[in-house]
Structures are given as C-alpha cells and as structure tokens.
Chain A
Amino acid sequence: MSLTVDSLKQIITDRLSAVVAEVEDVSGGCGQAFVVIIVSDVFKGKNKLMRHRLVNNALKDEIAVIHAFTQKSFTVEEWEKQGGKLA
C-alpha cells in the first residue's frame, strides 16, 4: 500500500471527522514520511497523549507502513484561536 498526500488526507477526514486535514509529504517523494495537522472536535477534552493515541489507532495500518509520522492535533476552537482558517 502506498500513501499519497491526497489519500492520507481523505482517510484522516473520514476517520477522524476532521474539518481541516493538512498533510505534507516530507519524504522527498517516496511516501514514507508525513507531517499532518488535524483539526477536529473529536479531540475535545483530550490531552496530548489521548489525542495521539486516537490518531494512532485511527491510522494504525497507515502508520505501520510509513517510516515517519508527525502529528499536530487541534480542536476547532484551538485552531481558530491560533489563527488557523477552516477549510
């Protein structure tokens, strides 16, 4: 299975009810390293560890096949507060 920016974006949007899913391929093209920003209210009331676990579980199969995965997660409120735009 090879992941692309678009396929990963779609997966995140679907599985985590994300209103914003920014995916950046930092692998230089081999599809092995991604940096993602996820904005979703499923993160409400959860601390960092819980959020990461949520994402890790939702993307279990995807993360298993890539080499590097960096995630940042925000609720809609946190995202807007720091000046992020909703898509």
Chain B
Amino acid sequence: MFKLFNRIPKSSFRSGFQPRLTYQPVSIRFISTEIKDAIQKAVDSSKIVLFMKGTPEFPQCGFSRASIQILGQQGVDPEKFAAYNVLEDQELREGIKEFSNWPTIPQLYVDGEFIGGCDIIMSMAKSGELAELLENSDCLVPEEPELESNVQPQERN
C-alpha cells in the first residue's frame, strides 16, 4: 500500500480546495456558478486530478485508497497530479457530484475529461486502458536515462 509514496513524494500532492468559497447558508439544489467555476479550476489545475476522501497520504475511504494506489502503480508523474479532499469542503463534496453528474467519490479527471470512479479506474487498470490513457496524455513519470548511466559497469549484469 505504500508503493505509491516511493514514486510520488507527498509534498507534490496538493490538497484543499482553492479558492475557498464563503459558505452560503442556503440549501441549493443546483450548484452555483461560483462553485462550478471553482471546480472547473480544480479540474484544470493539473493533467490528472482526483477528487477523493482524505489525502493521498491518508485516504479516508477504501475506494479513494484503491484509486490512489492504482495511480501510483501506474507510475503517475506527481508533477502532473493533484488531489482534492472533498471532506475538507462540503460545497466541493456536494458540488462535484453534480458537476460530473456522478454520485460517488472518488472521481478521476485526465486532461479535463471525466474518466470515472473507482470501479472504472480499477477495471481500466486491469485491461491496460488506464496505462494507455496515461501514456497518451503524457502523465507518467519520464524514463530516467541518467540513472542508467550512473550504474557502474560491474553492477551491470
């Protein structure tokens, strides 16, 4: 389960929902334009965006945990990844469901496009579609040829 953090340093995960919006004490069925704009900004903030419960270091739901794990295993580049904790912001938590027209969390966006929730992430990972998508969107950690050249000749097999 800690595999992810070998590849993705936690400092590179952004959490929190910026900008923070003032709470409006009215019960609204449809999300306001401001919330929608804020969510759109979040979606556009990185190539890969995950709306989740908890943080990548401390997921607070098994589905969010599984999703983070999969993204880590796929070799997602932390520079191109942002996570938003919906538990920190009630407006985001409710708003994102309507924004994506998707009833559950986590929710994955790649290049601004809604990909799906945990079930879809898992089945795409299994079928290889996720790797393909991330590769094509240039979201994976780049190969590091310089590491190769650092290896001493006697260490090579």
Q: Tell me the A residues contacting B by CB distance below 8 Å.
A: 48-49, 52-53, 56, 60, 63-64, 68-72
Q: Which residues on the A side are within 8 Å of B120 (C-beta)? A: 48-49, 52
- Whether a CB of chain A sits under 8 angstroms from the CB of B115 is yes
| B residues at A contact (CB < 8 Å) | 62-63, 101-104, 114-120, 123-124
In the bound complex, how far is the Cα of B105 from the Cα of A64, in angstroms? Answer: 12
Bound-state CA distance A64–B94 (Å) is 11
Q: CA of A68 to CA of B119 in the docked complex: distance in angstroms?
A: 11
* Smallest Cβ-Cβ distance to A73: which chain B residue: B119
Contact A52 B115 (CB under 8 A): no
C-alpha spacing A48/B125, complex, angstroms: 13
Q: Give the complex CA separation of A12 and B117 in angstroms.
A: 20
CA distance A62 to B114 in the complex (A): 23
A69/B104 contact (C-beta < 8 A), A48-B123, A48-B124 known: yes
The answer for the CA separation of A71 and B119 in the assembled complex, in Å, is 7
User: Looking at the complex, which one of B103, B117, B123 makes contact with A64 (CB distance below 8 Å)?
Assistant: B103
**Does B104 lie within 8 Å of A63, measured CB to CB?**
yes
CA distance A56 to B124 in the complex (A): 19
Q: Known pairs A63-B104, A69-B104, A71-B119. 8 more at Cβ < 8 A?
A: A48-B116, A48-B120, A52-B117, A52-B119, A52-B120, A64-B103, A68-B104, A72-B119
